[in-house]
Structure 1
Amino acid sequence: MADLRVVIADDNSVVRSGLQQVLGAVGDIELVGVAANGQEAIDLVEELKPDVVLLDVRMPVMSGVEAARHISPHAAVVMLTHSEEHETIASAVQNGARGYVVYSELDVEYLSGALKSVAAGATLMSPTAMTAMMSHSPAAVTSVAEHDHVVETQPVRGNSPFGLSGREAQIMELIADGLPNKEIAQQLFLSEKTVKNHTNRIFSKMGVGSRAEAVSVWFRSQLDM
């Protein structure tokens, strides 16, 4: 069976690097293109004819939600993002996305099988996305369930690798989502200095020296859990 051909699009270089590492570790997935915005993703789809496209929601030039409208007739689209807004999830699905996965609920162990199911016509929803769809538009979920096989991902496992505390693991997940220290601090109601101190301890425990390396190691660790 031929490898699944995948294009990824995210405007955050750290997240792109982490995704490249994860997909590169999966033997039956071929990463054929990397984009930094929605328009670049559209151009790559026209050129490379991938099976699946992983899109971030918020990107410059053109958002992932808007890009999904252009890409979905030609390739299966999965939104891979930290955005949990109900309206955004509904808009992505209305624009043809066949999947919506929140990073903190990404189960990389089953990523290959899940993406293959999407390429074959299934719908992939992480728990947050499914809940949002149910509350925003129950009829839409019912319609999808009647016509498609719905694959619901499982939340990230509770045991933290590298001996991270619960707070450190929470911060590392947000780092992997591509958030800078300032946004992490705002989201967790911490000072930016506290987040920086946590980040230094996280990097020490993980044996890494940069955010890009930390994201790559973190994603790979999920494969081994």
Structure 2
Amino acid sequence: MTIRVLIADDQGMVRTGFTVFLGSQPDIEVVGEAANGREAVTRAAELRPDVVLMDVRMPVMDGLAATREIMASGDPTPKILILTTFDLDDYVYDALRAGASGFLLKDASAQQLAEAVRVVAAGEALLAPSVTRRLISEFARVGPRRPRVRLGDITERETEVLVLVAQGRSNQEIAAELVLSEQTVKTHVSRILAKLNLRDRAQAIVHAYETGLVRPGE
């Protein structure tokens, strides 16, 4: 199945470079480009891409505001992969709350770019451990201090898995800690997302902290 991609960036050379490389991939098709956030919202509605590569700093409307509008437009919505040349500290919390599924620095290699598109298109979150740590730090600074809860819709084992996901653990690390196979962990994560009506791992992390299931520093 071909992954349809929209590239939103105010720099023409960046759009061209991404288009040329991604267009050479057998499983990826670049269906359009946008030079600002407002255009990205319009083009996303017209083209119905699977993934939007979204620059953060753009004229007319920035990438975070554009992400919010696209994600609020109703189903089906594309996966949003945030592109930035800047340190992510200022963007992690807001971007995930807006509905982004991952982050990619513009100095990533061409192969990393293609793989990132495939990862978010498959419904996974592209969150490196360093990004997750920043998210946790941001919750420690501004996140709500809610009482600890047990999410009633998920089992005790699924709760354990969600806590570890929110702590930034990979499937491999979760499997080792809980003495499970990686496939079993993947199954648990899929069930958690379905039961809690969450889009991906990124949303699961935000949800765990906002409900008080996990607290910063734990």
Q: Under TM normalisation by the shorter chain, which class is it?
A: 0.5 to 0.7
Q: Quote the Cα distance in structure 2 between the aligned partners of 1:26 and 1:10.
A: 20
Q: Which segment drifts farther, 112-121 or 134-143?
A: 134-143
- Which of 121, 124, 149 is matched with 1:122 structurally? 124
Identify the match of residue 92 of structure 2 among 80, 86, 89. Answer: 89
SS in 2 for 1:124: coil
Q: How does 1:144-159 map to 2 (within 5 A)?
A: 147=193, 148-149=200-201
CA deviation profile, 1:17-41 (whole Å, cap 9, x unmatched) = 2211221222210000000001111
Unaligned runs of 5+ in 2: 144-162, 170-188, 194-199, 203-218
Which structure carries more relative contact order (alpha carbon 8 Å, separation 6+)? 1
One-letter amino acid matched to 1:96: G
Q: Is structure 2 residue 54 aligned with structure 1 residue 19?
A: no
Change (3 A) 1:149 1:97: closer
Q: Which runs of 5+ in 1 are unaligned?
A: 151-225
Corresponding position: 1:109 with 2:115:
no
1:48 corresponds to 2:47: yes
Task: Report % sequence identity.
Answer: 39
Cα distance in 1 for residues equivalent to 2:53 and 2:105: 12
Report the alpha carbon displacement of residue 80 of structure 1 after superposing the two structures with TM. Answer: 1.1
Give the match's secondary structure for 1:31: strand
Asked whether the equivalents of residues 52 and 77 of structure 1 are also in contact (C-alpha less than 8 Å), the reply is yes
Check 1:51–1:122 CA distance in 2 against 1; reply closer, same or farther (3 A cut): same
Q: Which has the higher helix share?
A: 1
**CA contact under 8 A between 1:9 and 1:16: conserved in structure 2?**
yes
Equivalent residues of 1:101, 1:126 under 8 A apart: no
**Partners in 2 of 1:111 and 1:143 — Cα distance?**
25
Residues 1:76 and 2:79 aligned together? yes
**RMSD of the alignment, in Å?**
2.6
Number of residue equivalences: 148
Q: Following superposition of structure 1 onto structure 2, how do residues 30-41 of structure 1 map, counting pairs within 5 Å?
A: 30-41=29-40
**Per-residue CA distance 1:48-90 (angstroms, 9 max, x = gap):** 1100000000100100011011123511001011121413221
Looking at structure 1, the residues matched to 85 and 130 of structure 2 have their Cα atoms a distance apart, in angstroms, of: 10
- Could you tell me how far apart the structure 2 residues matched to 1:23 and 1:143 are? 32
Aligned amino acid, residue 9 of structure 2 = D
Superposition deviation, residue 7 in structure 1? 0.1
What's the offset of the Cα at 1:135? 2.3
1:142 aligns with 2:166: yes
Q: 1:98·1:118 contact (CA, 8 Å) conserved in 2?
A: yes
Kept in 2, the 8 Å contact 1:38–1:66? The answer is yes
Counterpart contact for 2:132–2:168, Cα < 8 Å: no
Once the two structures are superposed, residues 107-158 of structure 1 have per-residue CA deviations (whole angstroms, 9 ceiling, x without a partner) of: 43244343233123211124553342232237897188765457xxxxxxxx
Contact 2:82/2:103 (<8 A) preserved? yes
Q: Name the counterpart of 1:198.
A: none
The change in CA–CA distance for 1:144 and 1:63 in structure 2 (over 3 A counts) is: farther
User: Could you tell me how far apart the structure 1 residues matched to 2:166 and 2:11 are?
Assistant: 34
**Partner Cα separation in structure 1 for residue 112 and residue 91 of structure 2:** 25
